[in-house]
Structure 1
Amino acid sequence: MKVQGITNNRNFWIAAAVIAFILILAGISRLNPGADPGPVSPSPPPEIPEEIRTGDNQEPVLNVYISETGETRPMPFEEYIKGVVAGEMDPKWDMEALAAQAIIARSFTLQKIQEKGGIPARNAHASTDIEEFQAYDAASITEQVSRAVDKTRGLVAVHNGEYIRGWFHAFAGPRTALADEGLGFEKNPPYIQIVKSPGGDVIPPEEDPWEASFNLEEVRNAVRKSAGKDPGQIKEFEIARKGPSGRVTQFRANDTLVPAPEFRIALGSTEMRSTLIEDMEVTGGNVVFRGTGFGHGVGMCQWGARAQAEQGRSAEEIVKYYYRNVEVVKIWD
């Protein structure tokens, strides 16, 4: 009987230890919600916005504002995307780069329509004016562009079942930007990341780096537009803050803080190509900027997409490189 009692006690304590260990693990799991929960089931694809929907798995039709003529006309979605790809990227580039641009252009368009109906001021879902929506150039649609769009027909990038904000730009320089630093966007979406971009391997040397010079009155006017305050005669102009990618997020003009993304647009985004400033000086009545990159730097770098396509990456791989934890799904046939 004595031996049996010892055995029972031992079994009891072993069982208690096992239960305690399980409870500890459960507690750790709750305290560490970032722990890998294992494979995650794909999210269901998002719905096609009701205002452009034509039926289950059917290609939508857009009302597109044609800025050149002032008319609005219906256009099949994929026809519109062909014009966007031809307008936004060199039609002679590699097929997979063009295909990646098609996926992102679809995602951008659908997200904008879902968010605010497209362009309510034009009573349209999209516009051919690059300042309002995306570039569009039907005259530049080539067989290569058509094939790139056709092979990705209906494919979009989604995150947690929602269309992504399909931001893209010409050239990131060595790395891309977060949305809050590159665009002044209030909250950075989780799928927007800073990644090294290989566009520098293929961009012509005459395109980058760049230099731009503006007289002090031009700078003052741009500060007034972007900061909403007249700084007075510019006596001091300097970089006040940079973001994690190295881009300037704030300048200081005298005692006025100036948001860099808005300041760049006010000065002229084709002259001041980027906020990735490597050197700046005030000299001879001018502010001279020297930098790298072209565009806001957020999302897909087009020159980087070209470089990756030439390295053999697929359109889907390119998209997933520039946007974190996204899925590429087909939402119409």
Structure 2
Amino acid sequence: MDNSQDCVLSIKWENDNLVILDQTKLPEKVEYITLQTIEEVWDAIYKLKVRGAPAIGIVAAYGLYISVRNSKAADFESFYQELRKNSDYVASSRPTAVNLFWALKRMEKRALDSKNKTLEEIKMDLLNEAHAIRDEDEAMCKSIGENLLTLLKDGMTILTHCNAGGLATARYGTALSPIFLAKDKGWNIKVFADETRPLLQGARLTVWELMQYGVDVTLICDNMAAHVMSKGWIDAVITGCDRVAANGDAANKIGTYGLAVLAKAHNIPFYIAAPSSTIDIDTPDGGKIVIEERSEEEVSCGFGKRTAPIGVKVYNPAFDVTPNHLITAIVTEKGILRPPYKEAIEIILKK
């Protein structure tokens, strides 16, 4: 982007330290924190200080390097067992975002590929692998934006959900990437952003991020989407995703499925922006995706005070699954996938 210097980076590697933007403090405060231990990395992922599938994967990769950079292992086998133990620990922080496991497995593979080197050389290889994961994500997100831009026109209004911008990735984002690129082209793209209950990632993060970039954005509550669509104000819905099953079913922030149903009812195209790393060919369909359930306090005490009676039962899934028949296209850095998705995914992953 021409204005990329104005984008706020969510992840930095500075002075041999992992530094992240604490997204739980936005929009009131822009505060960076340094993660120096594997426990701090786990905590940052679990508590959503870093969030968004690509960003979680990047932080996990750096975290795994941090966990062994001062290792006193005497040989590769003991070093690798230490690495695997730490990898399993980080993997336990969030169950749904496939990028987390993808990045950790990639780091483990890099260690195995370097096993004939000295331990210090292996450590450096792991750091370089984490850098590569971050750099590749930035390039990948820009390509997703360029591909999505071919489906849009100047003057359109987009509805988005949760946060799939630069805060959720290395830079650019996935669902927001075409909006930033359109802005750079001089297009007049408007955005309606869902508040995204219960943690308000749309209100706190997406709106803040778009305003920072000078994009015309309007905030709405999640339950206003149908009304806005009925007015004819929405030309397309674009969301990110945390996992795409082999058949094209896609898991994303809770509420995405409902948007897809509404978009279908109003004849509005529904696009999923998905890095190829989120495609999980080992998961046959959305019914096999593990859905994270989070603390009841996020719902009952979500605004800094109790908003529901003490003792009420709360169901708080973090994600839902959008069936492939509701998805107009899945847009990756390698190209645009259209139904039938199983065949399209098999072709795209061979590129």
Instruction: Confirm or deny a common fold (TM above 0.5).
Output: no
Taking structure 2 as the reference length, the TM-score comes to 0.23
Which entry has the higher C-alpha Rg, 1 or 2? Answer: 1
Q: Bigger relative contact order, structure 1 or 2, given CA contacts below 8 A and separation 6+?
A: 1
Taking structure 1 as the reference length, the TM-score comes to 0.24
